[in-house]
Structure 1
Amino acid sequence: MTASRTCFQMRGMDAYASQGHGCRLRRRDATARLWLALLALWLAACQTTPREPSYQPPVPPPGMALIPGGTFVRQDDAGNSRLTTIAPFFLDRTEVTNAEFRRFAQATGYQSEGRWTLYATPERDQHPVVAVTWNDAAAYARWAGKRLPTEAEWEFAARAGRPTAIYGTGGAGDTLDNLATFGRIAVDPRRMPLRGIQTAPVASFPPNPFGLYDMAGNAAEWCADWFDAGYYAVSPARNPLGAAFGRGRAIRGGSWNDRADYLTVTRRYGLPPGTITFTLGFRCAADAQKKTTSNGRD
């Protein structure tokens, strides 16, 4: 083979090799461009896909506080206890006042079973309504689009996240030092016939950590439940609704006329639903979400 022919063949092989190398480079470039295009599409999708909204707690209606719900040890004065879980709910910040109950009665023509008008003089518009029966309280709650709180809800709200709470009070510590609406002492005393000093205007003293006023003292409060002294031993673990029947409706919180031991978060008792007394009022609750008891009852 001549030198010239050999040189020609080598140049041909070099050209072929260069052509193959160029093809490989073009394929690599195309692959890289494809990956870049896919990456750009993915980034665009990330920017346009809506993010999951963060949890927004429900907004309480005017005059109510959101009670966040949770699990706590429910107790009574007999030493019975029950681990209980409560769903979030709304609760009136104050007890229902004379002025509010009067608006209800005037708007509906409701004929009360109680004697609330005896204590609802104009200067006492902002005092809690008292001398109303359980049926009166339930009727007002329905008119307002609310309901009465269960005993479990009431106790959870009074404790306000404090496992060792004694009273449902606010201010520094957990004492009655700054709570004058018990034991016949009131913030603006007004003598009534044959009785001593009466209630105080609602929210006269600091709220508890949940923003609730007068969870101890002022007026005792009707709850939704039928009262059963042994209910804690058999109550559902979630959102208990109270006994199926009973002779009295549950009462919580103590009043201006009670000893201090009636104002604790564990003190519970019941009275017939038709009871009329100048120490007994109520506040309303409302659902913040659908809830069920552990036995499936809505």
Structure 2
Amino acid sequence: MSRHAGCSCGCGSPSREQFVDLGTPDPAPRYPSGGASHAIEQVAVPAGIFTMGDSSGDANSGDGELPRHVVRLAEFTIDATPITNDDFARFVAETGHRTEAEVWGFSAVFHLAVAAPPRDVMGPAAGTPWWLGVRGADWAHPGGRDSSLDGLGDHPVVHVSWTDADAYCTWAGRRLPTEAEWEYASRGGLEGATYPWGDDDVYAGGWRANIFQGEFPASNTIEDGFLTTAPVRTFAPNGYGLWQTVGNVWEWCHDWFDPRAYTAAPVTDPRGPSHGQARVLRGGSYLCHSSYCNRYRNSARSSNTPDSSMGNAGFRTAAL
């Protein structure tokens, strides 16, 4: 297993290896298509050309948001929202899928969100002590074994690895969006914009995204109303009708991550490197803040190992 770490500023996520090496789980099963059960509203994103990469000068060193480059994409469809807990529960009910968090027996929980007996807390992630390994934390118990999904059916599913997301896609007859598709869709037709709504700050008379307020990591004032996840249709959709592509939860993409990927990316329908150790995450999460992590932007990139799960990452699906 790789030793690749997640977002180094801490708003991203620790990789599983930052806690402990527990061996190798069984390979994820492959499921027959259950596409009729994938009931999320679809957005048809038109074919087009856009300039991919950081346009605001906010790129984080090492993330590989540069150089900016022209990309041409065919038309595709994408979920209007991330996969919710209710959506994922249907998948689990039909397939019996066990997430990697369940197989490994633990997942990463932000310290202010832990709901578990002290004996379940394994300790902090190396280098990011606000992330705690919690036994019994999984998609159905996002804070640990003392938590549940009561009242969270319309919140994005979390504690799902890239492998779990890919298994859902196989069942749904869909796939994860490529990194280029994700950024193009998040821009909502606003060429060069920093955020899905334009270049105005995340707060302009009201919050536009679910991010961290207060002094990270000790105190969140919850000015936007949410300590962790928000319902997927909170705030406002972008110009294409996509909800919350930035903030709330990081979203897994199809591509392997490479900080040098943009230096030789194909112009037409790029799908990322052919191999790697980590998969791309996009969009930032409820732990992002401009004072230490400005990754709640259209062009921002992060990554983690495909077997890692955490309380601030989910996914949405796409198809041609």
Aligned partners of 1:133 and 1:276 also within 8 Å: yes
SS at match of 1:102: helix
Q: Which residue is 1:106 aligned to?
A: 93
Partner of residue 78 from structure 2, selected from 88, 91, 104: 91
Distance 2:86 2:278 in 1: 27
Aligned partners of 1:169 and 1:175 also within 8 Å: no
Amino acid of the structure 2 residue aligned with 1:121: L
Q: Which residue is 2:272 aligned to?
A: 242
Partner of residue 155 from structure 1, selected from 183, 193, 197: 183
SS at match of 1:118: coil
Aligned partners of 1:186 and 1:256 also within 8 Å: no
RMSD between superposed Cα atoms in Å: 1.7
Aligned partners of 1:224 and 1:250 also within 8 Å: yes
Aligned partners of 1:147 and 1:285 also within 8 Å: yes
Q: Which residue is 1:116 aligned to?
A: 139
Aligned partners of 1:219 and 1:279 also within 8 Å: yes
Structure 1 position 263 matched with structure 2 position 296: yes
TM-score, normalization by structure 2: 0.65
TM-score, normalization by structure 1: 0.70
| Equivalent pairs, count | 218
Partner of residue 81 from structure 1, selected from 58, 63, 68: 68
Distance 2:282 2:139 in 1: 19
Partner of residue 145 from structure 1, selected from 160, 173, 176: 173
1:174 CA displacement:
4.1
Q: Provide closer, same or farther for how the CA distance between residues 139 and 174 of structure 1 changes in structure 2, counting only shifts above 3 A.
A: farther
Q: Deviations over 1:124-164 (max 9, x none)?
A: 01000011000001111111111100000000011122122
1:269 CA displacement:
1.8
Q: Which has the higher contact order (CA 8 A, sep 6+)?
A: 2
Q: Which residue is 2:49 aligned to?
A: 71
1:107 CA displacement:
0.7
SS at match of 1:141: helix
Percentage of identical aligned residues: 38
1:220 CA displacement:
0.8
Distance 2:286 2:186 in 1: 17
Aligned partners of 1:179 and 1:205 also within 8 Å: yes
1:175 CA displacement:
3.2
Amino acid of the structure 2 residue aligned with 1:65: V
Q: Deviations over 1:84-119 (max 9, x none)?
A: 101100010001000100110011111111221112
Distance 1:166 1:100 in 2: 30
Partner of residue 176 from structure 1, selected from 202, 211, 215: 202
Runs of 4+ in structure 1 off by over 4 angstroms are none
Amino acid of the structure 1 residue aligned with 2:280: A
Distance 1:88 1:211 in 2: 15
Q: Which runs of 5+ in 1 are unaligned?
A: 1-60, 190-196, 288-298
SS at match of 1:153: helix
Distance 1:62 1:100 in 2: 8
Distance 2:264 2:46 in 1: 25
1:62 CA displacement:
5.5
Determine which structure has the larger strand proportion and give its number: 2
Which protein has the larger Cα radius of gyration, Structure 1 or Structure 2?
1
Distance 2:266 2:172 in 1: 28
SS at match of 1:251: strand
Amino acid of the structure 2 residue aligned with 1:251: L
Q: Which runs of 5+ in 2 are unaligned?
A: 1-38, 60-64, 102-137, 143-147, 213-219
Aligned partners of 1:186 and 1:198 also within 8 Å: no
1:186 CA displacement:
7.1
Distance 1:129 1:186 in 2: 23
Amino acid of the structure 2 residue aligned with 1:204: T
